[in-house]
Amino acid sequence: MADPELQQQLSQVENLLRSDPVAADAAAADILRDHPDEPMAGLFRGIARRLMGDPATAIEVLRPVCESWPEAPLPHLQLGAALRETDDLPGAVDAVRAAVAARTDFADAWYLLAELYIEQGDKPAADEAFGMYIRFSANDPVLKQAGELLRANRLDEAEPILQEHLKQYRLDVVALSMLADIAERRDRLHDADALLRDCLELSPSFQRARHNHAVVLLRQNKPEEAIGKVDALLAREPKNPELRKLKAAILVRLLEYEASIRICEELLDEDPNQPQIWTSLGHMLKSVGRREDSVGAYKKAIELAPGYGEPYWSLANLKTHTLSDAELDSMLAELGKTMPRDIDRIHMNFATGRALEDREDYAASFQHYAEGNRLRLQKKPYHYEELAEHVARSKAFYTEAFFASRQGLGTAASGPIFVLGLPRSGSTLVEQILASHSAIEGTMELPHIAGIAKSLGELQPDSGEVGYPVVLANIDQDQLRELGEAYIEKTRIHRKLGKAYFVDKMPNNFAHIGLIHLILPNARIIDVRRHPLACGFSLYKEHFADAQNFAYSLENIGRYYRSYVELMAHFDAVLPGRVHRVIYESLVEDTESEVRRLLDYCGLPFEEGCLTFYENRRAVNTASSEQVRQPIYREGLQHWRHYEPWLGPLQAELGALVDSYAETQ
């Protein structure tokens, strides 16, 4: 029977270890004088000596404990830690391996073993040890607490816990991956990318980190790199449904729609009760012009999950499809419930707005649009000041003299045609017209100019000026050419047809016209502009997937439109004639004349096929995909007037632009 007095003494020593290792050492020594074979006293004294900075004595004390008590993992771990502190790495490895032999699920020991292998330069052994640590780390109290907070989306509480933990365990790949999760949820994708690269450098076989890295790469619009990560994972788990879903999403970014469709169809053959996959399949079928099939896929998703909002919105957003009375009633019933996810409520409000608009109930329709926008903006606020500051910096920095001193620099490539402006301005129509020319390939909204601008913004020039675009003053001729060549190289994967010209239809590139001109002086730049109330309301009733956050407030739309026109007017002044402007209303009213002007600007001969653009069967992956497969619909020009009574906040922000938007200066 255990000695109660001895047990009390050992408990006191254990408590002292946390606050006063010197006192713990003395108390443990007292116990050992009376009980020289007591292993717990030896263990505690060894720990105390380590904490006092005396690993040599700790080793002397711990060795006999390990020899007499080989089945106990903790003495071996402490001996390994002490040996490490005396730079005896091989001895430390042997001791810690004894710890995990005594207890296979000893996460702390696996972590220390991984650190020891890293210090020895044995990366494969470290990866193996990290793999075991990852497997058994779930019961670590700190990581468990952080995980629970992450599941509850309490990021502000989880982050400091993980950061404090990493001060002591700096190579903890699980904690690093959890921090990356926080960074991704906060849209700090660069930070998430860096953290996950650190994880995978330490533990290349960390499957979850590799999967998450592929997701982050995709969100950063790096599909080429993301597909490599996923293919490596699929080589190990070829039937993993989550990996196959992710690959399907990446293939869409690479314009490999048919391959993506095949994956979704295979997943549904294996398990047809997957509303999310039916919805994803609907998106892809829509993009390649299989309208009826896409409608069927969305309806199947609704049948499986009536409370799932995305397929309702996807049906409504076809523009050429009217939601049925049954579908409208279903959404109204769901909106009357307490939905588990805000995103479903957001999607259904936008879809209900569209359904009521089709029924000409404009007042009720607007109320649902307003509610969807309110919820969306609440979820992710927009900060207009960032755009205003960028416009002010650009106007001050980009002068006629600045451009004149850099004339002809950059790469000589003449292939890119940038179609930019605001979303919902008619840019997809212009792209479709251009892509119907035999010399031009349509691609998609390419992220690469924004990526280059972001990389420049991370530089801090020696002059003390802050970031982009001012940093361009320090970029020399060779660097400008290299940036232009990098853009051409990055876009190559999106160009499948080998044509001389290609369209980059990223609307937000209007903010980077100065950069485009410097690195691609022979590129064409086309600004598509639409009546601000028509464009503004069209933005307001659109639920964008993960961008254009300015569009969820009428006031912000007005401010954004105003800043866009202000910046375009500046480039018209300092680079006269550089940008070709297409006024959407003019394109609709006199299509052939505007198309001829457009092709003249591009230096290309007129082709009749550009007028029958709606016969072009190329894949289109924007909200206007169905509209550009039909002849131009002139009756829609004034449709916004049905909502004019509620557009006061937009009109107030626009001011005189309501009447003067088409002016070039």
pLDDT digits (tens, 9 = 90+) for 134-148: 999 988 999 999 999
Whether residue 632 is predicted with pLDDT greater than 80 in this model: the reply is no
Residues 6+ apart with CB under 8 A from 11: none
The owner of tokens 């050419």 is 481
The identity of residue 271, as a single letter, is D
Mean pLDDT lowest for which of 37-46, 447-456, 517-526? 37-46
Residue with the larger pLDDT of the pair 649 and 27: 649
CB atoms within 10 A of CB 359: 14
- Report the pLDDT averaged over residues 421-435: 94
Q: What is the pLDDT of the chain when averaged over all its residues?
A: 91
Q: What is the rounded CA–CA span in Å between residue 194 and residue 497? A: 35
- Looking at the DSSP bridge assignments, the partners of residue 579 are 525
Closest CA to 134 of 157, 114, 119: 114
Q: Give the per-residue pLDDT at 33.
A: 85
Q: Both tokens of residue 401? A: 């003299």
Band of the pLDDT at 461, cuts 50, 70, 90?
Answer: very low
Whether residue 462 is predicted with pLDDT greater than 80 in this model: the reply is no
User: Do 409 and 480 form a contact (C-beta atoms < 8 A)?
Assistant: yes
DSSP string over 57-123: HHHHHHHHHHHH-TT-HHHHHHHHHHHHHTT-HHHHHHHHHHHHHH-TT-HHHHHHHHHHHHHHT-H
Q: Both tokens of residue 534? A: 């028509």
Q: Both tokens of residue 301? A: 């998703």
DSSP 551: G
Q: What is the distance of C-alpha 152 from the center of its chain?
A: 20
Whether residue 440 is predicted with pLDDT greater than 90 in this model: the reply is yes
Q: Both tokens of residue 566? A: 């202000």
The identity of residue 479, as a single letter, is Q
Closest CA to 552 of 535, 539, 534, 562: 539
Q: Give the per-residue pLDDT at 10.
A: 78
Q: Give the per-residue pLDDT at 630.
A: 63
Band of the pLDDT at 408, cuts 50, 70, 90?
Answer: confident
Closest CA to 165 of 154, 177, 153: 177
CB atoms within 10 A of CB 499: 15
Q: Give the per-residue pLDDT at 40.
A: 87
Band of the pLDDT at 542, cuts 50, 70, 90?
Answer: very high
Quick one: which H or E segment has residue 426? none
The owner of tokens 């890293």 is 118
pLDDT digits (tens, 9 = 90+) for 35-54: 888 888 888 888 888 889 99
Q: What is the distance of C-alpha 470 from the center of its chain?
A: 26
Mean pLDDT lowest for which of 271-280, 327-336, 417-426, 619-628? 619-628
Band of the pLDDT at 455, cuts 50, 70, 90?
Answer: confident
- Report the pLDDT averaged over residues 368-397: 94
Q: What is the rounded CA–CA span in Å between residue 3 and residue 10? A: 11
Residues 6+ apart with CB under 8 A from 344: 307, 308, 309, 310, 334
Band of the pLDDT at 1, cuts 50, 70, 90?
Answer: very low
The identity of residue 543, as a single letter, is H
Mean pLDDT lowest for which of 197-201, 605-609, 624-628, 645-649? 624-628
Q: Give the per-residue pLDDT at 162.
A: 95
Q: Both tokens of residue 363? A: 């007042």
- Looking at the DSSP bridge assignments, the partners of residue 419 are 526
Mean pLDDT lowest for which of 62-71, 398-407, 441-450, 451-460? 451-460
pLDDT digits (tens, 9 = 90+) for 168-196: 999 999 999 999 999 999 989 989 999 99
DSSP 171: T
Q: What is the distance of C-alpha 659 from the center of its chain?
A: 38
Cis peptide bond N-terminal to 469, omega within 30: yes
The SS3 assignment for 443 reads: strand
Whether residue 429 is predicted with pLDDT greater than 70 in this model: the reply is yes
Residue 120, exposed/middle/buried by CB under 10 A (0-12, 13-18, 19+)?
middle
Q: Give the per-residue pLDDT at 664.
A: 55
Whether residue 550 is predicted with pLDDT greater than 50 in this model: the reply is yes
Q: Both tokens of residue 161? A: 């816990």
Whether residue 625 is predicted with pLDDT greater than 90 in this model: the reply is no
The identity of residue 63, as a single letter, is R
Band of the pLDDT at 463, cuts 50, 70, 90?
Answer: very low
pLDDT digits (tens, 9 = 90+) for 324-363: 999 999 999 999 988 778 899 999 999 999 999 999 999 9
Q: Give the per-residue pLDDT at 652.
A: 97
Q: What is the rounded CA–CA span in Å between residue 298 and residue 309? A: 11
- Report the pLDDT averaged over residues 519-540: 97
Whether residue 665 is predicted with pLDDT greater than 50 in this model: the reply is no
CB atoms within 10 A of CB 358: 14
User: Do 83 and 110 form a contact (C-beta atoms < 8 A)?
Assistant: no
The sign of the CA dihedral 253, 257, 263, 264 is: positive
pLDDT digits (tens, 9 = 90+) for 560-601: 999 999 999 999 999 999 999 999 999 999 999 999 999 999
Whether residue 633 is predicted with pLDDT greater than 80 in this model: the reply is no
Closest CA to 134 of 237, 186, 74, 206: 206
Whether residue 626 is predicted with pLDDT greater than 70 in this model: the reply is no
Whether residue 115 is predicted with pLDDT greater than 80 in this model: the reply is yes
Q: What is the rounded CA–CA span in Å between residue 40 and residue 27? A: 12
- Looking at the DSSP bridge assignments, the partners of residue 529 are 583
Q: Give the per-residue pLDDT at 552.
A: 95
- Ordered by where they begin, the domains of the chain are 4-139 (1.25.40.10), 161-379 (1.25.40.10), 384-660 (3.40.50.300)
Q: Give the per-residue pLDDT at 514.
A: 97
pLDDT digits (tens, 9 = 90+) for 197-226: 999 999 999 999 999 999 999 988 888 899
Write down the pTM of the prediction.
0.81
How many residues are recorded in the chain? Answer: 665
Measure Cα distances from 480 to 456, 509, 522 in Å.
Answer: 11, 18, 13
Measure Cα distances from 250 to 220, 222, 231, 246, 384 in Å.
Answer: 12, 9, 11, 6, 31
User: Do 441 and 497 form a contact (C-beta atoms < 8 A)?
Assistant: yes
Q: Both tokens of residue 433? A: 């017209």
Strands 501-504 and 579-583: unpaired
